Structure 1
Amino acid sequence: MQLHPDDSIAVIFCAQRTGSGEQDYQTAAAAMGALAAQQPGYLGEDHARSADGFGITVSYWRDDASAKAWRDHPEHARIREQGRDKWYSAYSLHVARVERAYDWQK
């Protein structure tokens, strides 16, 4: 976990994987993570996946304009379409403002 500034934007992506094309998915996910990290306003991400393929990725952005620019990035849009065609049976996306953030580590 990372500390994200107050008043940032969280994009919460919840998805059920199909289980097909695992290697292609892993390659695309790594490429998208690296590309997102290069975008202006990117603050980081958290993610988790269960054994049945349900996953949640939360990306954090300085402001809504930065989050929207990532949504509209051409390469991200191309990979998103592949995800709809191949890798996901369903997903939902939620955008929220982070008003407070706390971290703790032992």
Structure 2
Amino acid sequence: MVFAKTPKKDYYACIFSSIRTSEYNEEYNKMADEMDELAKSQDGYLGIESTRNDHSRFGITVSYWESLNSIKNWKDNSNHKIAQKFGITNWYEHYEIRICQVKYSYSKETQK
């Protein structure tokens, strides 16, 4: 796991929490990799952190953005919309998306 490099304040986090269907799907893994690469090319993208528990199928992906407009543009990206439709119909039992403004952040290193 690599932590995203983000500013210390005044940016946004898009938190995507999900429960995958029980079926293993190679198409999902391929699409997830493609979406990671596509997100990196979007204006306002700052980074991403993601984890999934294979046993419970629960996962969280947090992507970081410069602005709410950057998040909206990502949501509306035509290739991302295709992935969203597959997610709704094939890959997720349930998901929730939360958008948050980061007012302040710190890490172990910055606490010294």
Structure 1 residue runs without a partner (length 5+): none
Distance in 1 between the 2:46 and 2:84 partners?
Answer: 21
Contact 2:47 2:65 in 1 (8 A): yes
Q: Deviations over 1:40-64 (max 9, x none)?
A: 0000011111122100000000011
Aligned amino acid, residue 33 of structure 1 = D
Q: Secondary structure at the match of 1:43?
A: strand
Larger radius of gyration: 2
Contact 2:4 2:46 in 1 (8 A): no
How much does 1:72 deviate? Answer: 0.5
Q: Provide the residue aligned with 1:4 in structure 2.
A: 6
Q: Secondary structure at the match of 1:68?
A: helix
Q: Provide the residue aligned with 1:89 in structure 2.
A: 93
Contact 1:3 1:103 in 2 (8 A): no
Q: Provide the residue aligned with 1:67 in structure 2.
A: 71
Contact 1:3 1:102 in 2 (8 A): no
Runs (4+) off by over 3 Å? none
Cα distance 1:21–1:86, how it changes in 2: closer, same or farther (>3 A)?
farther
Q: Provide the residue aligned with 1:14 in structure 2.
A: 17
Structure 2 residue runs without a partner (length 5+): none
Matched pairs, number: 105
Q: Provide the residue aligned with 1:33 in structure 2.
A: 36
Normalized against structure 1, the TM-score is what?
0.93
CA-based RMSD of the aligned residues comes to: 1.2
